[in-house]
Amino acid sequence: MSDEAEHQVEPAESVVSHVSIDPEDAQAFGRFVVDSVYRIMKVASIYSVDHNQTRQAMEAFMPAFKESVSRVEGGTISVTIRGELCSVNGETLRLRRKEQERLGELYTIFKAAVIRGIAFEAAMTIEDLVAFLSALNEAGRGGQGMEHVQVPHIVIQHGTPDQSILEAVAQVNKAMYVAHIYIRGLVKVRNMHQHVQETRSSEVPTGVVRRILQTVSELLSDDDFTILGLLPLRLVPPDISSHSVNTAIYAMLLADRLGLSPQMTAYVGVAAIYQDIDRLVGISVGHRDRDAGLDSHRQFSANLRDVALMLDHVDGDVISTLRVLLTYERGCAFEQEVGRPFYRAPRKLHLICRIIDLCRTYDLLIQGLQGYKTRRPDLAIQYVQSRAGEVFDPHLTELLVSTLGLFPIGTVVRLSSGESAVVIRTPAPAADPRRPVVRLLNRRDPMVIDLSDARYEHIEIAGSLEQQEEGMESNASQIFLLT
């Protein structure tokens, strides 16, 4: 056995939990089933079917299966894969990132064997499972499909597990829900900004916006690909309101990736929102990467003046503290030299200040606001990379790039094969960052291509395109929301 195989699977005795899940909880039960099927098929795909590790895995699987199937109406457990979606006994699952990665591996196994689903009947035995796995592995190696295979108590649904455009339309509600949350945030922040401009006071109710950002923080682990694809699509004309919401979401994403709690992640987003509210009443937001700013002593005095203006409007809670911190550190360099006012020793900005500054600049570049030239997402990534270690935290910049990819989600690209496509997934952390998952901009067959897959090694991204080119903006938006 290779070292690689040894690290790809767990010991057989821990492959499947012996504790069944109540089928009444359709989502938990579905995830339990998919995880069980993934683990046993993973073992069988690495070892030979007659290997003792595979036998132990099946023996560990059967008690949990028997207990679960006995409680399911009809006495059958079915698993169906269609593209990036999976259903168990007809229930479409909401999968987290790790679960989605495992589903991707199951999809690869199903695709190689040209099947889209399986159903295990209550009377299935280990011998039936062995026969099925043997046929599955043989079909995967030969690519001839399994239409000739008959296994007692296991029903095979033949055909490709790819999702058709009609099936994508049928599942569009999930993407549209995320879009609804995002657009609602844009509208509420714009209304809030109008109120601040009319009253000239930063005392404005933010409860609704806070709840929206709390919802976003809960969506980040499951639907971050959809969220990230919406931000560069410019669903509304660029302005400070859309910039405020986008900055908040990008910052929340980095906070989530750093392991901050959902509550703290939401606080980071609200702090970015408040920074722009305070800006509307005269408290500035620094351009750390562009503005030379005031000389060091005058900058320090200006920051203290703005903090003093805020003190009557803060209550000592987390958000208030973050607002003061952001204002106090406005205009400071990322790496402070000895002798400068903040204060006579080398120092770095607070983590949340560094997060928001980086995300704010990236979005300003995307939207072309506040004197920045509008850039495509990939060029905006290059811009912030070029300033890493100088005005932006190099570690956060690396995290932003690994999260968004060299070609961020929503980027329209031209492939070396001649087709246009929109990026819908960033590469896995260990994969080539230049080879994301794309969906072809073809209304008749908008197929998905994972450029990190060896089958597509002959296809590369030749370059990115402006969405306005060839009338692609609406096409890219529609295709992305059907993903």
Whether the per-residue pLDDT at 344 is higher than 70: the answer is no
Return the pLDDT at 40. Answer: 82
pTM for this prediction: 0.64
Least confident of 169-183, 193-207, 395-409, 421-435: 169-183
Can you tell me the distance from the alpha carbon of 151 to that of 132, in angstroms, rounded to the nearest whole number?
6
Express each pLDDT in 236-256 by its tens digit: 888 999 999 999 999 999 999
Q: What is the mean pLDDT of residues 28-51?
A: 79
Q: Which residue has the higher pLDDT, 218 or 120?
A: 120
Q: What is the mean pLDDT of the chain?
A: 80
Where does the chain hold its CATH 1.10.3210.10 domain(s)? 170-404
Q: What is the mean pLDDT of residues 183-192?
A: 92
Residue 285's pLDDT band, with cuts at 50, 70 and 90, is: confident
Report yes or no: 71 and 398 within 8 Å, Cβ to Cβ: no
Can you tell me the distance from the alpha carbon of 151 to that of 168, in angstroms, rounded to the nearest whole number?
31
Return the pLDDT at 390. Answer: 83
Query: Exposed, middle or buried, 25 (CB in 10 Å: 0-12/13-18/19+)?
Result: exposed
Q: What is the mean pLDDT of residues 270-275?
A: 93
Can you tell me the distance from the alpha carbon of 76 to that of 67, in angstroms, rounded to the nearest whole number?
12
Tell me the percentage of the chain whose pLDDT exceeds 70: 82
What radius of gyration do the chain's Cα atoms show? 26
Three-state SS annotation for the chain: CCHHHHHHCCCHHHCCCCCCCCCCCHHHHHHHHHHHHHHHHHHHHHCCCCCHHHHHHHHHHHHHHHHHHCCCCCCEEEEEEECCEEEECCEECCCCHHHHHHHHHHHHHHHHHCEEEEEEECCCCHHHHHHHHHHHHHHHHHCCCCCCCCECCEEEEECCCCCCHHHHHHCHHHHHHHHHHHHHHHHHHHHHHHHHHHHCCCCCCCHHHHHHHHHHHHHHHHHHHHHHHHHHHCCCCCCHHHHHHHHHHHHHHHHHHCCCCHHHHHHHHHHHHHHHHHHHCCCCCCCCCCCCCCCHHHHHHHHHHHHHHHHHHCCCCHHHHHHHHHHHCCCCCCEECCCCCCCCCCEECCHHHHHHHHHHHHHHHHHCCCCCCCCCHHHHHHHHHHCECCCECHHHHHHHHHHHCCCCCCCEEEECCCCEEEEEECCCCCCCCCCCEEEECCCCCCCEEECCCHHHCCCCEEEEECCCHHHHHHHHHHHHHCC
Residue 16's pLDDT band, with cuts at 50, 70 and 90, is: very low
Q: What is the mean pLDDT of residues 278-293?
A: 78
Return the pLDDT at 196. Answer: 93
Choices 3.40.50.300, 3.40.1160.10, 1.10.3210.10, 3.40.50.20: CATH for 170-404? 1.10.3210.10
Angle of CA points 471, 408, 242, to nearest 5°: 75
Q: Which residue has the higher pLDDT, 9 or 371?
A: 371
Whether the per-residue pLDDT at 282 is higher than 70: the answer is yes
Q: Which of 228-242, 296-310, 358-372, 454-468 has the highest mean pLDDT?
A: 358-372
